[in-house]
Amino acid sequence: MTPEEKLEKCYNSFKSKIDFKPYIALILGSGLGALADEIDVKYTLNYSEIEDFPLSTVQGHKGRFVFGYIENVPVVIMQGRVHYYEGYSMQDVVLPTRLMRKMGAEILFLTNASGATNPEFSAGDFMLIRDQIANFVPSPLIGANLDSLGTRFPDMSEIYNKKLCDIIRNTAERIDIKLQEGTYIQLTGPNFETPAEVRMCRLLGADAIGMSTACEAIAANHCGMKVCGISCVANLGCGLTDKPLTHKEVMEAADKAAPLFKKLIRTSIVDIAEQFDSCK
């Protein structure tokens, strides 16, 4: 089955079960899934109910789409994403992103947990993702181009939409939530980095490291979505502290940040729905 056929099959499976057109698609990262429990839920769809959908196995990730409204904004939320380190092809990793585009979503709001390489960041900070480095993972666009989605050689000069960044920045300021800004680098994981790798990432210009997101942003740009993202800095990168890193620590930090994070995401989404079309 080609990636295009697989996408079509997943879309048909969704269509046969759910009649809903989202405006914003939201991907919730490790430990950040609780936001989905607070929206006005209309439908849920477990990934396992979608024929041929890649299934996520990582702890802390629920595998389902949640469809509903944040205030009056129709959203689809991915509660749990698919990671490259689980062994899926990059095309499978970005299939859900493409599927949400096919559902009708125009904006992709990415979230994740990350480790800081910027020594000025602290655990618990939020970072508006302004740009990214994805060269350490294969491009999700390798292989035959999906012409129905986008062009062979897509531009990535504004991979995180500036207008969306402006709106989120203003939102954070208005509700008094501190927001760092910077460049996110995606590595494959699942191992955390060595101190030398963290120093390398810093030298390359990254402010935060994670194991997701950049590939989804590429696929979303390719298929014409406008993209924004916020990273929850769960820890300082290896070598910036002398403590060894654990997944448990990352989850606990995400849990602790969750209430403020939820507020920031919710408010940003309402502001985006109000302001984005008029400032495009």
Q: Which of 211, 219, 225, 234 is catalytic?
A: 211
Least separation, in Å, of the C-beta of 231 and ligand HPA? 9
Q: How many residues bind ligand HPA (CB under 6 A)?
A: 13
Q: Interface with ligand HPA includes 125 (CB under 6 A)?
A: no
Judged by beta carbon, residue 10 or residue 206, the one nearer ligand HPA is 206
Are the beta carbons of 130 and 160 closer than 8 angstroms?
A: yes
Residue closest to 131 by CA, chosen among 163, 106, 157: 157
Q: Which two tokens stand for residue 94?
A: 């970005």
Binding mask 249-268 for ligand HPA (x = CB under 6 A): -x------------------
3-state helix, strand, coil in the chain (%, to 5): 40, 25, 40
Judged by beta carbon, residue 76 or residue 232, the one nearer ligand HPA is 232
Q: Is 217 helix (H, G, I), strand (E, B) or coil?
A: helix
Q: Which of 61, 116, 172, 216 is catalytic?
A: 61
Least separation, in Å, of the C-beta of 226 and ligand HPA? 25
> What is the chain's alpha carbon radius of gyration, rounded to the nearest angstrom?
17
Q: Which two tokens stand for residue 214?
A: 């950049």
Active-site residue flag, 61: yes
| Residues numbered 27-66 forming contacts with ligand HPA, rule: CB under 6 A | none
CA–CA separation, 184 and 107 (whole Å): 19
C-beta nearest to ligand HPA: residue: 115
Active-site residue flag, 225: no
Quick count: other Cβ atoms within 10 Å of Cβ 213? Answer: 25
Q: Interface with ligand HPA includes 114 (CB under 6 A)?
A: yes
Active-site residue flag, 197: no
CA–CA separation, 210 and 245 (whole Å): 13
Active-site residue flag, 222: no
Q: Which two tokens stand for residue 252?
A: 């606990």
Any idea which residue has 């499976």 for tokens?
Answer: 13
Active-site residue flag, 69: no
Find the helix packing angle between 95-103 and 214-222, rounded to 10°.
40
Judged by beta carbon, residue 77 or residue 214, the one nearer ligand HPA is 214
Binding mask 212-251 for ligand HPA (x = CB under 6 A): ----------------------xx-x-------x----x-
Active-site residue flag, 251: no
Least separation, in Å, of the C-beta of 240 and ligand HPA? 9
Are the beta carbons of 214 and 133 closer than 8 angstroms?
A: yes
Annotated catalytic residues are 30, 61, 83, 85-86, 113, 211-212, 235, 247
The contact set with ligand HPA (CB under 6 A) reads 113-115, 192-193, 209-211, 234-235, 237, 245, 250
